[in-house]
Amino acid sequence: MRCRHCSAPLEHSFIDLGHAPPSNAYLTHEDLRRPEMTYPLRVLVCTECWLVQTQDFTRADELFNADYAYFSSTSKGWLAHARRYCEDMRSRLRLDERSLVIEVASNDGYLLKNFVEWEIPCLGIEPTASTAAAAEALGVPVLREFFGEVLGARLRGEGRQADLIAGNNVYAHVPDINDFTRGLKAALKPGGTITLEFPHLLNLVQQGQFDTIYHEHFSYLSLSTVSRIFGAAGLRIFDVEQLPTHGGSLRVFGSHADDTRPVTPVVRDLLENERNAGLQQLSTFLSFQERAERIKLDFLAFLVEQKQAGKRVAAYGAAAKGNTLLNFCGVKPDLMPFIADAAAAKQDKFMPGSHIPIVSPSQLREQRPDFLVILPWNIADEVREQCRDLAAAGTRFVTAVPTLEVR
């Protein structure tokens, strides 16, 4: 395999998580009677451009199909994050009824509905039918296509270049990152702005966040590597923000290469921080496997101990990161009987690989578990707040990454 960006040979493994099904391929009762497809989940690192990337085994259309079950609006915290972003961009870029906002991977309209409310023209690009339909119900115009250079050029030819192109947690999901970035350039109006949010590789490495690795994430990104990818497409990064979302993310601000806006000192400082942290040194990546295996053993020891003590352990959040953790650890319903999730699209289904049932959060009040494992640890505070009544009744909350924590 060669690097998806620079085509250099890939010779070094970052982590091998064994075989697993796609993390959002939730199963129905009927699916349990059929064979389940799994793929190797192995991540490699390029020592030329330092792009960290999954080994090629799956295609995007196999992962993001009509039954894709991730709906952004499920998290109130994420909705508030999106609203703050829209308000900031509306003011910062002076967006009005003459502007055009495009969001790539617009999901269920969680973000663009704010621009619809303000009567600022917008367009969502979303290939998964289930989430696109939810967005259209909110009044968001949607193109049900995968985004890339061809679609970007088509939008440019139609006179639909954007003043703002937003992409939240999509850049890591694209198999051809060069084609996607060239599409951004084609669809961007002269003087326009691109913002992309993605989990920061630095946090993944430093905090052992191996459960954020799954087939849908083709790339694991640093500012230095994204700057290089942008540059190759005729774009540039002029600003960056560090965000707490998803365990620590970056929001990069991009423009055409000839844009006159100055590069902020924050960009230079963060590039230096990445170098000092070893994100361009092979030794940094070769020690990661051992950290993940230590987290696995600690989590399994906890579950086995509670099983032997007769305690009831359940989980909250049928998240992709939870599937990575459960499948890497080999957890089945005998150690974790059910997982509660607020998304109706996931309820009455089963986790891929582990086949743990997914139920409504109302089941937590009926079952009263002794321990509740919060699989999407990035929203642990939100979950604990929602489950204050369980805590009052004696339930303790558990997170497994980056270290086992029981509260």
pLDDT in tens, 398-407: 999 999 999 9
What pLDDT shows up at residue 216?
Answer: 87
Mean pLDDT of 371-377: 97
pLDDT, residue 358, reads: 98
The CATH 3.40.50.150 domain(s) of the chain lie at 72-277
Architecture of domain 288-406: 3-Layer(aba) Sandwich (3.40)
Structure tokens at 312: 């009831």
Mean pLDDT of 18-37: 94
Mean pLDDT of 209-228: 95
Average of pLDDT values for 181-198? 98
Angle, CA of 129, 146 and 176, to the nearest 5° = 140
C-alpha 324: how far from its chain's center?
13
Residue range 72-277 in CATH 3.40.50.150: yes
pLDDT above 90 coverage of the chain, percent = 90
Q: Does 99 score more than 80 pLDDT?
A: yes
pLDDT of 70 > 70? The answer is no
pLDDT digits (tens, 9 = 90+) for 146-172: 999 999 999 999 999 999 999 999 999
pLDDT of residue 71: 72
pLDDT at 78: 85
| Model pLDDT, residue 67 | 53
Nearest-CA neighbor of 198 among 215, 184, 219? 219
Instruction: Write out pLDDT tens, residues 35-60.
Output: 999 999 999 999 999 999 999 765 55
Q: How do residues 256-298 score in pLDDT, each as one tens digit?
A: 999 999 999 999 999 999 999 999 999 999 999 999 999 999 9
pTM: 0.89
Mean pLDDT, residues 127-142 taken together: 94
pLDDT at 107: 93
Sign of the Cα pseudo-torsion (91, 97, 108, 180, in order): negative
Strand partners, 399: 405
pLDDT in tens, 316-366: 999 999 999 999 999 999 999 999 999 998 999 999 999 999 999 999 999
CA distance 137 to 383: 28
At residue 24, the pLDDT reads 85
Q: What is the mean pLDDT of the chain?
A: 94
State percent of the chain over pLDDT 70: 96
Q: What is residue 58's predicted lDDT score, i.e. its pLDDT?
A: 56
Domain with CATH 3.40.50.720 in the chain: 288-406
CB proximity list for 195: less than 8 A, separation 6 or greater: 85, 89, 164, 165, 166, 167, 251, 252, 253, 254
